[in-house]
Amino acid sequence: MIGYIVRRLLQAVLVVLVVTIIVFILLHQLPGGAARAILGPRATAAQIADFNAANGYDQPLVIQYFRQLGQWVTGDFGFSIKLNQSVGSLLVQRMPKTIILGLLSLVLTVIVAVPLGIYQAVHRNKSFDYVATGLSFIFYAAPTFFIGIIMIEIFSQNLGWFPPEAPQSDGIGPIFQEFDAMILPIVTLALLSIAGFSRYMRSSVLDNIDQDYVRTARAKGASPSRVLAHHVLRNALIPIITLLGLSLPALFAGALITESIFNFPGMGLLFWQAAQASDYPVELGVVIITAFATVVGNLLADVSLAVLDPRVKL
């Protein structure tokens, strides 16, 4: 197990390095370079030269990359001229909010999707199964921004049950103090995951119901509920637990749109505003953090699968 984890960690480091190289190259492919993108189209040649000299952009690309790589390793992602604040401090402020939003939506996903998938599998090819399958396909295919707009239109504008905007105060305290304003963002972000997780759960339960050990348990006189709870569910949950680790990048991708729709001040909204303002240091920092989270999620998924399923060879 230790050797497997070490190998996966080395692979994770390699993947993150490749991501940083790609992002670094793309940053230097911008028309006019990073200086023109940050200073604007009216910047003079002298201003651009001064900016390049001050930030090391006049040095060879290899030297620039390793200099920036050393800064990224220490948590220094540069300075946002647009916001007049270091990128690291912005990430520290916004990241906890995005993490809480993602965790709450993930909890809601598991609470709804697991029982839903089990019920569909037990009552397969019945009316409820067909309806739930159709809704799952709709929510799985629908864009996040469309779901968010519909949620605001129905539950905020028409019914007036929830605020159309997420809590705007700094810190994570307002998230729980004004939790009614978090309902729509959490549900919007969770609906896509519920659609996918419930389908996986349904398929996993169906695969296990037909196994020999289930027929043996039934032949011994075990009740259907005991067979489901003590035999089928334990093995059927393995793919879902693995998906939890793989869902980290998907949650951030959904959070980017969800936070923009509900004006939730997290990393997703920060990235959206940085893209509109051409604030490339902020975009770079968010992309690197997201790449790191993706690699960590994949590592956790691999290790958890190996721990939960002894049949997996490391």
Model confidence, pTM? 0.76
Other CB atoms within 10 Å distance of the CB of residue 223: 11
Instruction: Classify residue 294 by burial, with Cβ atoms within 10 Å: 0-12, 13-18, 19+.
Output: buried
Residue that terminates a domain, selected from 86, 104, 132? 86
Provide the pLDDT confidence category of residue 194 given band limits of 50, 70 and 90.
Answer: confident
Complete DSSP assignment for 186-207: HHHHHHHHHHHHHHHHHHHHHH
Q: Which residues pair with 80 in a beta bridge?
A: 85
77 and 112 in a single domain? The answer is no
CA-wise closest residue to 290 among 124, 94, 11: 94
Nearest to 147 by CA among 175, 186, 180, 120: 186
Which pLDDT does position 37 carry in this prediction? 66
**Domain limit, last residue, from 34, 52, 86:** 86
CATH number at residue 164: 1.10.3720.10
- Under 8 Å CB-to-CB from 64, ≥6 apart: which residues? 24, 56, 57
- Mean predicted confidence (pLDDT) in 161-185: 79
Q: Is the pLDDT of residue 314 over 60?
A: no
pLDDT in the model for residue 60 = 79
What percentage of the chain carries pLDDT values higher than 90? 0
Same domain, 160 and 267: yes
Question: Does residue 134 sit within a domain?
Answer: yes
Together in a domain, 100 and 242: yes
Of 141 and 306, the one with more pLDDT: 141
Statement to judge: residues 140 and 14 lie in one domain: no
Beta-bridge partner residues of 79: 86
Q: Is residue 313 part of a domain?
A: no
Give percent of the chain above pLDDT 70.
Answer: 87
- Number of folded domains in the chain? 2
Instruction: Please tell me whether residue 80 adopts helix, strand or coil conformation.
Output: strand
Domain membership of residue 314 (yes or no) is no
pLDDT digits (tens, 9 = 90+) for 75-118: 777 777 777 788 888 888 888 888 888 888 888 888 888 888 88
* Residues belonging to the chain: 314
pLDDT at 312 over 60: no
Q: Are residues 143 and 221 in the same domain?
A: yes
Do 216 and 244 belong together in one domain?
yes
Q: Are residues 35 and 75 in the same domain?
A: yes
Quote the tokens at residue 110. 């598991």
Mean confidence (pLDDT) of the chain: 78
Q: How confident is the model at residue 311 (pLDDT cuts 50, 70, 90)?
A: low
My answer on whether 32 and 146 are in the same domain is: no
Together in a domain, 70 and 217: no
Q: What tens digit of pLDDT does each residue of 127-165 get? A: 888 888 888 888 877 777 888 888 888 888 888 888 888
Is residue 155 packed enough to be buried (19+ CB in 10 Å), middle (13-18) or exposed (0-12)? Answer: middle
Same domain, 208 and 97: yes
3-state helix, strand, coil split of the chain in percent (to 5) is: 80, 0, 20
* Structural domain span for residue 270: 88-308
Residue 8 lies in a domain: yes
Of 30, 56, 86, the domain-final residue: 86
* Same domain flag for 137 and 222: yes
pLDDT reported for residue 32 = 60
- In this structure, is residue 281 part of a structural domain? yes
User: Is 152 a member of any domain?
Assistant: yes
**Given pLDDT bands bounded at 50, 70 and 90, which one contains residue 232?**
confident
Q: What is the arithmetic mean of pLDDT over 204-228?
A: 73
